[in-house]
Structure formats: structure tokens, C-alpha cells
Amino acid sequence: MTISIADLKKKQSFLDKIKTKIDQTSSGGNRDPRFWAPTFDKETGGGAVIRFLPSADLNEVPFVEYITHYFKGPTGQSYSEKSLVSIGQPDPLADLNRRLYATGIQSNKDQASAQKRRKKFIANILVVKDNANPDNNGKVFLYEFGPAIWGKMEGVMFPQLPGEEPIDVFNPFEGANFFIKIKPQALGTNIVPNYADSHFGAEPTEIKGDIETIINQTHSIKEFVAPDKFKSYDELCKRLIEVLGYTTGTGLETIIGYKFKNPELLEIALTHTSYANESRTPVKHNERLEFLGDSVLQIVSADYLFHAYADRPEGDLTRIRASLVSEGALFQFAQEIDLGEYLRLGRGEERCGGRTRPSVVSDAFEALIAALYLDGGMDVARSFILPFITEGKHAEADYKTRLQEIVQQNPEERLSYVVEQESGPDHDKHFVVAVRFNSDRVARGEGRSKKAAEQCAAKEALKLLGVIKEK
């Protein structure tokens, strides 16, 4: 499409397009001959003068932005990939970083910080003056730049001080030259470019030269936001695993605090039958592990209850254990470690919400128990299970139910639980809950979750009522 001077002058401002673009994400591409970059000398720095241009389509936002990750993993390999977050899709590294932060463990948070995402931009430019490469003068290129330069652009396009007039830096008639000044800066053992002294000309000016010819040399930037230019989630995940030396489900290993000697066991535990059925190659799924995990869970929970409730009859122990190993309880446990997010599901099961389906997730929880048992033995399985069943979670079918049964004997009594205090970070919450009969506070309980605190409060109320003995 040929752009005329009349078209350019009719297009009065690009600021409206830019404003709606800010905070959105897209993607850029690898360097090719269409791209220009200023020459940077680690001793003397560098510099150039450029002019930002509109895109080949005047109705488009004149730039694209994308998110990238670059870091070196413990394997010595580098991870340099465009993030799917750029086009609004889930990204494996973004998911891993979120889980690492959620653990609250400082070493995990440090790792996530080192793997943080970086934003870059691509726009058309006219090279006004390139002292290092004078042959580039007067030519149109694509230019990839970072937040430092973008900050300079935002500062003049959307000034914050009263009386300052905005400059439409992409406008060939009312924009301004951009003076790139690069200083060498030490960053650890490396010398990196610093763009802090770069700036726009004080006053808007018209581009010198044949503007119509210049604009018609600009490149389309649509290709850099096309979804087919991005690697798939699975491709990125495979590369990430290679760089980090991880096995499938390593993020989960971080959360549960156990690294598998045989990673295949974890992979099988996380594989739903729907995934295996849709796979073109034979894939093991988790049904057999689920069977074994159920038995291990039964043994561990029975052993715990037998010793923890030495004065309780068999009927009570059976009832409590049933609550511990119910689908609802296992689903609750699985949610605490974000298990659903790690599952390998078929496309149909994925679309139907399999990651949050209690039957699917609770079965995977039992399969995970079996995988831990086979990989590390009963002690490893027990250490994984016990924190879930010893924080009062089973008491919902014990203390709370027993208290409810008592209160129901008096139709005029109304039982309720009220959160009186909530503190601590998301990964380590602390709750104080009061149990009330009508409006009267009877007892209080504390716990790491609302349910645990409610169970504790119910237990204290039962003590006051003389239903259970003080311990």
C-alpha cells in the first residue's frame, strides 16, 4: 500500500493509538537485516540520532511490544525465548515463577527473580545520523529497544508537568529527533549499555527529506504479533526443562519438598487417562498408581488416628478416617499444592475443566502418594501425608459435626463461625475464628486456614460443654 503526504497529514496524531496500546503485550522477532542497532563500544560507549516512524499501516499502533526471558540455567545452557504471555496465553516459565514465589522460600524466590521477564519494543525508525556506520544515514529500519528508551518516549508523549505539550514522536511532521547516548556501565563482571542520557529534541520538527518516500519504506510490524511466531507451551516447557535440568513436575517437587530419583514415576502420577488416550505414542497413565496410593493413604491415616485417639472406639476412628480419605478432603489437600495445574490432560478433559474437577484431582493426589511411596518408601509417603491430616482438616467430620449435632438438639440455638483475625502472607496465613451460639461467643480457635481454625474452635467448645476431656 502506498502512503501519500495527504494520508499522512490527514492522520493528525498517533497518540490515541499508542495510549490504548500501553500495558498490552505482543511479540517481537529475532534480528534480521531489517533491524538496526546502535554500535556500542565497551570503553567509549556509542551514540546516534534517529527518528521514530509510523508503521506501514497508518491505522495501526506504530510499535509492538513483547516479553522475553533470558537467563543461564544450572546446566550451563541459556534460556532465550519469547513468552506466550505476550499474546495473552499461559507460559511455562511464568507459571513456574509464580509457584516459586508462592512457596515463600527465599532460595525459590531468588531463582524466580533471576528468571524474571523483560519487556522489549519494536518500531520503524529513520537513521538520521550513525557516526559508526554512515552508510545507514537516511535509511529506514526496524529498531528493537527496551524499557529505558520507552520511558523516554512516554515522558514526552504523555508529560506529567503542567504546561508541557505532548510530542507525538511517531509523527513525521510534529515529532522530534531522538538522540541516543550510550555510556558503558559495569554490571557485575559485565559492561552493559546505559541509555540514561538519551533524549528527544526540545522542539517538534518535521523530518528532513522526501517524507513520502521515507514512509513508504517502512516495514509492517503485524508479523511480530502473529501467534504462529511463538513456540507452543509444550515446546517452551521442554526447553525450560533442558535448561534447568528439571524433570516433568519440578515445580511441584519444589512445593512438596521432594525430588524424585525416578522422574518417570511423577510423570505417570500426573498423567490422566484422557492424555494417554489421545497420545499418538504409548503413554502410561495414573490409574494403577491411584489404586496403590489409596492403600498407602489408608494405612498412614489409620496408623495416625490409632495413636492420636487412643481413647476413641473403632466406630469413631472409622468415621474420621472416612472423612480424611474422601474425595472432598483429597481435593482440598490437592488444591493446597496446586496439583491440578501440573496434570497432563487430554484436550477434551482440559476444555471441560479437568484441572478443577474434584474426581480428577483427588485421584491424581492418590497417584502422587503412590509415586512418593515407590520412589522413597513409606517414610517419604508418610511425611507427605501427615501435614495434611494433622492440621485439623479431618475435624470437619469430627469436632464440627459433633458440635453441630449437639446444637441441633435445641431448635432455638444457632451455630456460626466468625473470623476475628487474619494475618500473615498468602503462603503462611494465620486465622483466629470464634464459634458462636446465637450472638454469644463460646470459644476461639486458631489455624493456618479458616477450616483448621473452625475445627479448633469447635474442639474448644466441646471441651467447655464437657463432651471431650481436656488434654
Looking at the annotation, which residues are catalytic? 294, 366
For cell 501427615, what's the residue? Answer: 386
Tell me if 276 sits within 8 A of 285, measured CB to CB: yes
For residues 100 and 104, give the distance between their C-alpha atoms in angstroms, rounded to a whole number. Answer: 8
Long-range contacts of 102-111 (CB under 8 A, 24+ apart): 102/255, 102/338, 102/426, 102/427, 103/254, 103/255, 103/427, 104/425, 104/427, 104/428, 105/254, 108/254
Query: Which triple of cell numbers denotes residue 406?
Result: 449437639
Name, in order, each residue with C-beta under 8 angstroms of 441's C-beta and a sequence gap of 6 or more.
434, 435
Q: Check if the beta carbon of residue 17 is closer than 8 Å to that of residue 61.
A: yes
Pairing state between β 178-187 and 46-53: antiparallel
Strands (E), 201-295: none
Q: What are the residues whose beta carbons fall under 8 Å from the beta carbon of 203, sequence distance 6 or more?
A: 176
Cell of 277: 488416550
Q: What cell was used for 97?
A: 515463577
What's the CA gap between 39 and 358, in Å, rounded?
A: 57
